[in-house]
Amino acid sequence: MRLNEIYKNKKPVISFEIFPPKVKDAEGALFEELKILSQYRPAFISVTYGAGGSTREATFDLVLRIKNELNIQPMPHFTCVGSTRDDILQYIKNFENNGIESILALRGDPPKGQEKFVKPACGFGYANELVEFIKSHTDLSIGVAGYPECHQECSCLDADIDNLKRKVDSGAEAVITQLFYDNDCYFRFVEKVTAKGVNIPIIPGILPITSNSQIERIVSLSGCKLPVGFNAEKGIEFAINQCNELISNGVPGIHFYTLNKSFAVKAVLDECTGI
């Protein structure tokens, strides 16, 4: 099912993000976690694509396992980093030929040790270019990323929304946001994006926090703001309240960043209303 069909559902749609384990033997444990989460009937499970394509084969294998063993539609991530147009075409065609219906198209972060993103030779420098290429060469349904608090490399939110508009105009069917902990940021973001003429679903991305070490890492990587006095011991309770407020305000879905574990997301979903 295409993204623009998935989000026609009257109830909020649930989806999850996972990443390929660094050790192949850890896949068994990951699938036990996914079996627990599958009871919530996710519309799809997205699978990340490591910096510089470092998990390219692992992502591909994991995507096929999710589809074939769990009977859940996977959504692979794909980035512009380190890939020529020929590489990209071959990779995404393999997905399409294996019955994958959607893909999340991203510019991607610079590889480790590289301060700024460098456009690959014969490749793409921006996500909207990747979206346009995928759209013109496949029938894949395309999702893209949005940043309620502005991408860290962008000068301001309005400029970042202009970048998002270019991705949508190039063929994106849904937006999945970066994680955030202030719902007002999401609501203002949706209002601004809608005012620019974007009318595709904008899905909030949620990561329940369960430890103080997560807080430090999340803030450093994403640049998101945390409420004053935020306490990891109440992270799940905070996420429950955050999701319930989003649902009560009519969001089309919620995309959970699972960190390959089911516990926190399950605890949140068990207390969410209207799902």
So which residues are the catalytic ones? Answer: 17
DSSP H/E element including 76:
strand 74-79
3-state SS, residue 178: strand
- 161 contacts 190 by C-beta, under 8 angstroms: no
d(CA 107, CA 85): 14
**Chain position carrying tokens 């995507």:** 63
The strand pairing partners of 145, in sequence order, are: 176
d(CA 264, CA 243): 13
Question: How many Cα atoms occupy the beta-carbon half-sphere of 146 within 13 Å?
Answer: 34
**Chain position carrying tokens 């995404």:** 92
d(CA 183, CA 212): 21
- 78 contacts 53 by C-beta, under 8 angstroms: no
**In this structure, what are the phi and psi dihedrals at residue 265, rounded to the nearest 5 degrees?**
-65, -40
The amino acid sitting at 132 is: E
